[in-house]
Amino acid sequence: MKDTTRHQGKRRQLVEIVKNKGVTNKAVLDAIGNIPRHFFMDSSFEDHAYQDKAFPIAADQTISQPYTVAFQSELLQVKRGDQVLEIGTGSGYQTAVLCELGAKVYSIERQQELFKKTKLFLSKLGYRPKFLSFGDGYKGLPEYAPFDSIIVTAGAPYVPKPLLSQLKIGGRLVIPVGDDPQVMTLFVRVEATKFEKKEFGEFRFVPLLEDKN
């Protein structure tokens, strides 16, 4: 796996595209600029790696569009040392972005093939999430809660209550809600039983599947 000056140049162009679409968080833009996205895709599709679009990966899943990854990451407002729960490890690209932002990442993947592959791959690249889990994302990880923020990288038909309950006060849940397309939704836990909700327009994700293991 090589990261050439050509790849780096294409990444700089990608950062400009994401910036022009409205992402302003410098740490997020730096992460997009630093991470060799072509490593997360089959080498025969390398030319697609720095286009701003989603792309199929193993187990009928996709690697999210870079803009979507940046947009969700910006909404999380990650600070160094934050405990972040990711639902849907997928290719590990979003996981790598969270690691670059200095988060302690806990991630759940429900496709076993993808879980095994990504776990090996992330450590090979030098990304060290705190905990990678094979399981049902709807349940979250209560044993590691509460989290500073939670990101869901698949379309959820409804908002899973366990995820809301695993947020710290002041914590943020970023989740695409609905069937197709989904509405990007932010929940902020303002009190034990009170949440503020904001919506940020339509996005397209693969569905978040429940109890399939």
Residues 43, 64, 73, 107: which is the catalytic one?
64
The upper half-sphere exposure of residue 94, i.e. CA atoms within 13 Å in the direction of its Cβ, equals 31
Q: Which residues make Cβ contacts (< 8 Å) with residue 5, sequence separation at least 6?
A: none
Query: CB–CB of 101/31 below 8 Å?
Result: yes
For residue 64, indicate whether it is catalytic. yes
> What is the DSSP code (8-state) at residue 58?
S
The region, left, alpha or beta by phi > 0 then psi within -120 to 50, assigned to residue 4 is beta
Q: 3-state DSSP: the chain helix, strand, coil percent, rounded to 5?
A: 35, 30, 35
For residue 201, give both structure tokens.
């327009």
Helix axes 93-100, 66-76, angle to 10 degrees: 40
For 6, list phi and psi in degrees, rounded to 5: -65, -45
For residue 34, give both structure tokens.
């630093």
User: What CA–CA distance (Å, rounded) separates 146 from 163?
Assistant: 10
Q: Which residues are catalytic?
A: 64
